[in-house]
Amino acid sequence: MITISLINMKGGVGKTTLAVNLGWNLARRKNKVLIIDLDPQFNASQYIMDFQVWDQHRKNKGTIADILSDTNPQPRQTVQQEDQWFFKELHIVETNQNAMAGLWLIPSDLRLAYVVKNPQGVEYRLYRRMQYWKPYFDYIFIDCAPEDTILTSTALMCSDFIFIPVKPDRFSVVGYGNMQEVIDAFRYDYPDPQKVQDLGVVFNQVKGDSDIEEECKELVSEKASYVFETEVKSSTSHLRALKEGTPLFDTKYARKITKKTMDSLVDEMEARINTYGG
């Protein structure tokens, strides 16, 4: 099980869209993928789940907020059958939109903000719970909030890798520098059981029509441990995918290059992981 946190201290960089579509792409490749929505704004949950389904799940089965508020790390229910694989825990929902079996979600909700205000012991709870999930998933993606709180430490505690989406604009250089400070502070203040590594930067929402973008990419590249060759271009298909709740490669009228971008990014990501022996 490989756990990757998508993280940036700056909002509006397309973290959620990237996290969900990486998960969908890997699920299409017959991997079993879990997405953890660790943002009180619960954008990943709204992307993947219909509001009514999310609301019923929140009321009846709970969300990541309940996991982080629960001092008992023991899963409520796990089931494994010889011929039909599935994993079921109280807070986890399987999503099969567009026949995309293999993708699971732990949704979030606004109550996660309460966890931030009452942080004692929170950062260890998800890590302890995840030890029970290792036999069941190939990948876990954690969609992080764009601020340094106890939720950031919670995500880093669980992560093998961090993946930093950057939108190349005037604020990107400062945002990336802040991200490095957050990682350094985490390693100083907490144990690092997964020995979290930096996968690098992926430039996201790239318009490709200004010198400012190129200047920002150059400045970030000077500081980054690795910059992905694959860039995710700005496209109306991203907005349409969010509205329809579909992967980019299933979005109506999406250009061929848009559909292929996530394939290229996943290929490069897996090659990058392999350099660490993953």
Reported as a single tens digit per residue, the pLDDT across 161-189 is 999 998 888 777 777 777 888 888 888 88
Dist. CA 217–CA 31, nearest whole Å: 32
Query: CA-based Rg of the chain, rounded to a whole angstrom?
Result: 18
Chain segment 211-262, per-residue pLDDT in tens: 888 888 888 888 888 999 998 887 655 566 666 666 666 666 555 666 688 8
Q: From the CB of residue 98, how many other CB atoms can be counted at a distance below 10 Å? A: 14
Give kind and range of the element (H or E) at residue 113.
helix 112-117
pLDDT score of 12: 75
CA distances from 59 to 115, 151, 256 (A): 17, 22, 40
142 is written with which tokens? Answer: 């954690």
Domain spanning 2-225: CATH superfamily: P-loop containing nucleotide triphosphate hydrolases (3.40.50.300)
Chain segment 97-151, per-residue pLDDT in tens: 444 568 888 999 988 888 888 777 888 889 988 888 888 899 999 999 888 889 9
Domain map (residue ranges) of the chain: 2-225
Q: From the CB of residue 274, how many other CB atoms can be counted at a distance below 10 Å? A: 9
Evaluate whether 233 touches 168 at the Cβ level (below 8 Å): no
Dist. CA 9–CA 159, nearest whole Å: 17
Q: What 3-state class would DSSP assign to 37?
A: strand
pLDDT score of 87: 43
